[in-house]
Amino acid sequence: MSLVSIAREGSIAVVTIDNPPVNALGQALRQQLWDAVAALDADAAVQAVLLICAGRTFIAGADVSEFGKPPVAPHLPDVVARIEAAAKPWVAAIHGAALGGGFEVALGCRFRLALDSASVGLPEVGLGIVPGAGGTVRTPRVAGVAAAVDLVTGGKPLRAAKAQALGLIDAVVSGDLRAAAIAFAQEAIGKPLPLPASARPVVAPEAGFWDDQQAAITKRAKGEVAPLHALACLRKATEVPFAEAMAFERETFLALRGSDQAAALRHVFFAERAAPRPAHLGAAQPLPLRAAAVIGGGTMGAGIAAALRDAGLPVTLIERDAAALERGVTNLRAIFDGAVARGRLTEAQAAERLAGVTASTDYASLAGADLVIEAVFEEIGVKRAVFAQVAAVCRPDAVLATNTSYLDPAAIAQGVPNPARFIGLHFFSPANVMKLLEIVPTPDTSPDVLATGFALAKTLGKIPVQAGICEGFIGNRILKRYRAGAEALVRRGVAIAAVDAAMRGFGFAMGPFEAQDLGGLDIAFLQREAARATGQDVPETLGDLLVRAGRKGQKTGGGWYDYAPGQRKPQPSATVADLLADQIRAEGQMDGPAIAEHLVAEMAAEGQAILAEGIARQPADIDLVEIHGYGFPRWRGGPMFHAQNRAG
Ligand code: 3HC
Ligand code: NAI
């Protein structure tokens, strides 16, 4: 199949790559590019070559699906070198994104042009590898070492204008990219050419630069190895000749490509891309989403409203009375003000987000909503009463959703006319930041309404995972097992701080006890108490003992740990040791890795039960829930991937 075509515009050859969906550089494309260079070199009528791509984007990189297999020639570094050494200058014309190997091909071209909407980058570390076709060796020669370190070790793409400012792009154009690039190439013909990237000098940074970077990246990476290897490649590029640095980069790339971390990150890469379009949705059609409403302006309601506004949807916010409404609007304003303070929004954008919110205590304002998301108190009576009011005023086809954490959405929907439009949409706190959305259909939910949940996730930039109905759905159910496992270790004599340190060592930002102190121990306690009040046999947890002693976490000055006033640093607590003394058996210690493996195995075992019950549809969904909702280290692939790899 022809993935590369060549056309003529006078003395300019236009090489077009057409390899949908993202022009990834699989073996066939590499071969055809190689052949195109040879053919054009031999063509005396050609004075310059334009490299452009069909479809939604320039080359998005190497073909990640080839990474599990042995590399087959021609290898990408050779293709890039061939382009760089071509007898005619090559001009890359970039639209969409030039990423990874795609940007490395562009760096092999003598000139790079980009549409103003384009971006370029070297995101390889996100796949557990380093650039493998000269990205770490050419980038510092083109943009300087500091910019190269940011680009390669951070992995974040740059917008065209920023890339131009750094010298990575020669010209930014708008409108017709092909025409602009042909004009640019025409202009370049006959003029002295800039040095190819490989021939440019690289300026070594000041003393101490590498040590500082090493320290900062080690801290940030929390066990992820690719960013440090990327730094080592960049350093090498400043210390040895080009060819030697290329060999070092290639060796590192090939070694990492076969690593466990890279396999885990590839698993997550493909799981994330598959999540928005599960096959079982079939031909179901999402309903139009033009206007949304949120009931309850507390922690979750305000966050959900902000997420909806960030996606450009007009939002009606309903609260139970004027004072609560005032608080709800204040919560929303605080979210947008925070975004301004962090430089994510301008004052004007924040004002526009807020202006798109209609705040009211009158349910009649819901009449125009296509989607209503309830985020009121976690009490079934309150939620049912809310939906009775909502159903009385909404269109009969408006989608009605609950953000409940633990209640049964089907039970909440009882009494709602047309329950086919009812669904659980479980957001995570802060709802405008966290990427995960658990989608919980009831037995009555229609396929189109289910598809609407997935469409909403796409609109909001979230990762959707479908969950069946059980207490805690997927994520909170696994969290409960994780916490119980952690408490069981403490009962066996493992120190609280040792458990937290072990989970940090594994790659979590926080251990289970520190996290509870931050979020508050009382929420789970109250839930257990409510279950006990209905006669359920809920065993007393260690956390219950702490809450009964007034230790609810940081907000009360202590929970599992003590906190100095105004401080967030956990200090092991003698009071807690006393409170729990008669619960703890001195059975001995476990080392950090053993603790972490034990607790992750607990998560995976719960995940297995969840799969067996049909609550989750596939192991990768559980991995996405843990990574995007609970801070499971991405580079470990999620608990199911991790458990399977250890077993196999
Ligand atoms: N290899 C193989 N398949 C890829 C791919 C890649 N590099 N990039 C994307 N795809 C596939 C996706 O899996 C998806 O497939 P599907 O339709 O079968 O599910 C399809 O292309 C579309 O992808 P998206 O849904 O992500 O499309 P978007 O339009 O939302 O985004 C994009 C486009 C920004 C290019 C995004 O796909 C992306 O970020 N891709 C990955 C870029 C990347 O990581 N490149 C580096 C690769 S490693 C490398 O180049 C090594 C080199 O240094 C040697
Ligand atoms: P919250 O207490 O911060 O907010 C609840 C809001 O609902 C309050 O502002 C209250 O005034 C309002 N409200 C109560 N009754 C109402 C009524 N009849 N009409 C209109 N508004 C009413 O609670 P939070 O944390 O926001 O939780 C809300 C829901 O989201 C709960 O079901 C909770 O289980 C769920 N949830 C909470 C998460 C969290 O991390 N806090 C995460 C995911 C879901």
What's the pLDDT tens digit per position in 377-412?
Answer: 999 999 999 999 999 999 999 999 999 999 999 999
Nearest ligand for residue 322 CA: 2
Residue 446: phi and psi, rounded to 5, are: -80, 155
Mean pLDDT for 8-23 is 97
CA neighbours closer than 13 Å in the CB half-sphere of residue 612: 6
The pLDDT of residue 615: 98
Ligand 2 centroid, distance to 407 Cα (angstroms): 13
Residue 483 has pLDDT above 90, yes or no: yes
Q: What kind of fold does domain 279-466 have according to CATH?
A: Rossmann fold (3.40.50)
178: closest CA among 285, 286, 95?
95
Ligand 1 centroid, distance to 55 Cα (angstroms): 13
Quick one: CA torsion of 461, 466, 470, 473, rounded to 10 degrees? -30
Ligand 2 centroid, distance to 409 Cα (angstroms): 15
What's the pLDDT tens digit per position in 441-459?
Answer: 999 999 999 999 999 999 9
What's the pLDDT tens digit per position in 561-614?
Answer: 999 998 899 999 999 999 999 999 877 789 999 999 999 999 999 999 999 999
Nearest ligand for residue 321 CA: 2
- Looking at the DSSP bridge assignments, the partners of residue 536 are none
Ligand 1 centroid, distance to 321 Cα (angstroms): 48
Q: Over the range 361-385, which residues count as b (16 or more CB within 10 Å of their CB) and which as e?
A: eebebbeebbbbbbbbebeeeebbe
Residue 173 has pLDDT above 90, yes or no: yes
pLDDT top residue among 444 and 67: 444
The pLDDT of residue 587: 75
425: closest CA among 437, 434, 414, 436?
437
92: closest CA among 143, 58, 128, 55?
58
What's the pLDDT tens digit per position in 140-153?
Answer: 999 999 999 999 99
pLDDT classification of 293: cutoffs 50, 70, 90: very high
In single-letter form, the type of residue at position 376 comes to V
| Nearest ligand 1 atom to alpha carbon 270 | 13
User: Which tokens belong to 219?
Assistant: 């801290």
Strand order in 292-295's β-sheet? 357-360, 315-318, 292-295, 371-374, 399-402, 422-427, 436-441, 463-466
pLDDT classification of 648: cutoffs 50, 70, 90: low
Residues forming CATH 3.40.50.720 domain(s) in the chain = 279-466
Tell me which residues have their CB closer than 6 angstroms to ligand 2.
Answer: 295-301, 318-320, 324, 328, 375-378, 382, 386, 403-405, 426-429
| Nearest ligand 1 atom to alpha carbon 65 | 2
Mean pLDDT for 286-311 is 97
Mean pLDDT for 102-111 is 98
Q: Cite the active site residues.
A: 426
| Nearest ligand 2 atom to alpha carbon 405 | 34
Residues forming CATH 1.10.1040.50 domain(s) in the chain = 475-614
Q: Which CATH superfamily, name and number, covers 4-258?
A: 2-enoyl-CoA Hydratase; Chain A, domain 1 (3.90.226.10)
Residues forming CATH 3.90.226.10 domain(s) in the chain = 4-258
Q: What kind of fold does domain 475-614 have according to CATH?
A: N-(1-d-carboxylethyl)-l-norvaline Dehydrogenase; domain 2 (1.10.1040)
pLDDT classification of 101: cutoffs 50, 70, 90: very high
- Report the C-alpha gap between 221 and 223 in whole angstroms: 6
21 upstream amide cis, omega within 30 of 0: yes
Nearest ligand for residue 472 CA: 2
Residue nearest to atom 30 of ligand 2 (CA): 375
